[in-house]
Amino acid sequence: MKLSNPPCTLLVCVMLVLTSCINNEKKTYDNPAEIPVSREMVAELTSPPNVPTPVGVRKAKKLIVNMEILEKEGTMTDGTTYNYWTFGGSVPGSFIRTRVGDEVEFTLSNHPDNKLPHNIDLHAVTGPGGGATSSFVAPGHEKKFNFKTLNPGLYVYHCATAPVGMHIANGMYGLILVEPAGGLPQVDKEYYIMQGDFYTKGENGEPGLQAFDMQKAVDEDADYVVFNGKVGALTGDNAITANVGETVRLYVGNGGPNLVSSFHVIGEIFDKVMDEGGSSINKNVQTTLIPAGGAAIVEFRVGVPGTFILVDHSIFRAFNKGALGMLKVEGEENKTIYSGVVQEGIYHPEGGGIQEMPDSDTKVATPKESKTLAEKMKSGKTIYMQTCFACHQAEGQGIPNAFPPLAKSDYLNADVNRAIDIVLRGKTGEITVNGEKYNSVMTRQAISNDEIADVLTYVYNSWGNNKTNVTKAQVDQVKNAH
């Protein structure tokens, strides 16, 4: 009688079970809707510019998202406030990070102190209104709905309660990331940036609590175009940071409601751009176009230290309306990549040839030494509008976190000779003006000593300054002192 071999049979059975489990683990799904979920987890939500932890290789899960709507007053710029409507208390709203195949259980709560009903339309949702038809919620109530994440990418969400444009214009937008199975490639730093355009009853910089202006919004006449909800949200102490050699990934959205963003980082080139937040990758990009209600993922490796400026390259929006941020990079210099200044000299556009002197009969015009104050003010204003206006603005208010104010400036009024020297020779490095720190660059101005006297006289006799009448002799003295 032949005996069987139970240990061998058992081994075969175990191997078959293990193989089956491994194959099931590696199974790919042509239809993401069929991806099973394992257990549930509460989603990590973050305020800008922070992002939640990458999903990595985790399995699809039932993801619990709890988001609260808050209507709250916040700062638009120094001295100016605005009543923002927010998802999660920030503009843009909380960053949501998921992966393909997650089953999202979304609860939207409208704080009882709010005045208006709201809802949410997530562009990552396949379903009526992107969830908006299931989430309309009055103050003091909450709504719950579920959706499956089917398509990897970076998607905008926003309020879609009528009038839709008004809700978006008041700050009700954010980003939801759907990572592919296995997650996105690892990088060193990740940040969340979203552009928006705002429309206020007062003009840009007008102080006090500003109300929303519907007609300006309809006319697309934005008073502010900003990153992360306010002027200076990403400058100074709020700047994002990295170290030389690190790879930076920016999740960039555009809430609109109206304007397209031309996103650019001055002094960097995007190694990779996931166009419109989708799967298509473009390489070596200088500026990427982000439509209202769209997004992009940009990646680059920082090779040298310094402050790199983030802008909407529709450039007046950056320097005049607020669409400006900073990436501060620390580390060792690399002179091969970027040398810095290697030589400074005088530029002679007329060439090096010997110039003819005027005939003795030719009268050479000399600056008028005895101008009246009115004459100097008229001349100075013309010079100011030609050379100073872009940075310091028409009323000397400057640009917050970028260029200091000249109006009621303690720094300016404290030392006239210092002001003359700055116009003559330029200025770099940190200064404090009216209690605020600035670290920008003012180049030497190519104007005559007589013109310097006129423009400074205009500045000192405008906008609440100390009414100094600067003379050409003073400018000459400061110039000859070095």
Both tokens assigned to 127: 């379903």
**Residue 141 labelled as part of a binding site:** no
Q: What residue numbers bound the domain in which 394 lies?
A: 373-480
Average pLDDT over residues 356-380: 67
Q: Which is it for strands 441-442 and 306-312: parallel, antiparallel or unpaired?
A: unpaired
Q: 206-229 pLDDT, tens per residue?
A: 999 999 999 999 999 999 999 999
475 versus 8: the higher-pLDDT residue is 475
Lowest mean pLDDT among 54-68, 128-142, 317-331, 400-414: 400-414
Q: How confident is the model at residue 17 (pLDDT cuts 50, 70, 90)?
A: very low
Residue 123 and residue 269 in one domain: yes
Q: Is 344 part of any domain? A: no
Residue 325 and residue 391 in one domain: no
Residue 243 and residue 324 in one domain: yes
Residue 197 and residue 326 in one domain: yes
* CA neighbor of 369 nearest in space, from 453, 278, 249, 425: 453
Q: Is 361 part of any domain? A: no
261 versus 14: the higher-pLDDT residue is 261
For residue 91, the model assigns a pLDDT of 98
Residue 174 and residue 282 in one domain: yes
**Residue 264 labelled as part of a binding site:** no
> Which amino acid is it at 30?
D
For residue 311, the model assigns a pLDDT of 97
Give the number of C-alpha atoms closer than 13 A to the C-alpha of residue 203, restricted to the C-beta side.
Answer: 4
Q: How far apart are CA 30 and CA 34, in angstroms?
A: 8
* CA neighbor of 476 nearest in space, from 449, 445, 447: 449
Residue 310 and residue 257 in one domain: yes
Radius of gyration, CA atoms only, the chain: 30
DSSP state of 402: T
Which CATH number does the domain housing residue 469 bear?
Answer: 1.10.760.10
Q: Tally the domains of the chain.
A: 2
- Cα-Cα-Cα-Cα dihedral of 145, 149, 154, 159, to 10°? -20
Q: Is 382 part of any domain? A: yes
Which contacts of 465-471 are long-range, i.e. CB under 8 A and separated by 24 or more positions? 465/406, 465/407, 465/408, 465/409, 465/412, 465/413, 466/413, 468/416, 469/373, 469/376, 470/416, 470/420
Both tokens assigned to 289: 């176009």
Domain final residue pick, 267, 301, 330? 330
Residue 243 and residue 167 in one domain: yes
Q: How would you list the strands of the sheet with 240-243, edge to edge?
A: 240-243, 324-330, 306-312, 261-266, 287-290
**Residue 172 labelled as part of a binding site:** yes
**Residue 41 labelled as part of a binding site:** no
User: Do you find a cis peptide bond into 92, omega within 30 degrees of 0?
Assistant: yes
* CA neighbor of 423 nearest in space, from 462, 467, 391: 391
Cβ burial of 266 (10 Å; 0-12, 13-18, 19+) is middle
Q: 387-400 pLDDT, tens per residue?
A: 787 788 878 988 77
**Residue 313 labelled as part of a binding site:** yes
Which CATH number does the domain housing residue 118 bear?
Answer: 2.60.40.420
Q: Is 367 part of any domain? A: no
Q: Is 257 part of any domain? A: yes
* CA neighbor of 428 nearest in space, from 287, 306, 291: 306
Domain final residue pick, 330, 359, 392? 330
Residue 132 and residue 219 in one domain: yes
Residue 314 and residue 412 in one domain: no
Q: Is 24 part of any domain? A: no
Report helix, strand or coil for 386. Answer: helix
**Residue 8 labelled as part of a binding site:** no
DSSP state of 85: E
Q: Is 34 part of any domain? A: no
Q: 421-449 pLDDT, tens per residue?
A: 999 888 888 899 999 988 877 877 878 99
- pLDDT > 70 in the chain, percent: 88
The span from the first CA to the last CA of the chain, in angstroms, equals 115
Element (H, E) at 413: helix 410-414
Residue 237 and residue 310 in one domain: yes
**Residue 391 labelled as part of a binding site:** no
For residue 359, the model assigns a pLDDT of 52
Q: 50-102 pLDDT, tens per residue?
A: 999 999 999 999 999 999 999 999 999 989 999 999 999 999 999 999 999 99
Average pLDDT of the chain to the nearest whole number: 89
Residue 272 and residue 391 in one domain: no
Residue 96 and residue 223 in one domain: yes
Q: 18-36 pLDDT, tens per residue?
A: 444 444 445 678 899 999 9
Q: How confident is the model at residue 346 (pLDDT cuts 50, 70, 90)?
A: low
Q: Is 145 part of any domain? A: yes
Domain final residue pick, 276, 308, 330? 330
Both tokens assigned to 117: 């009903």
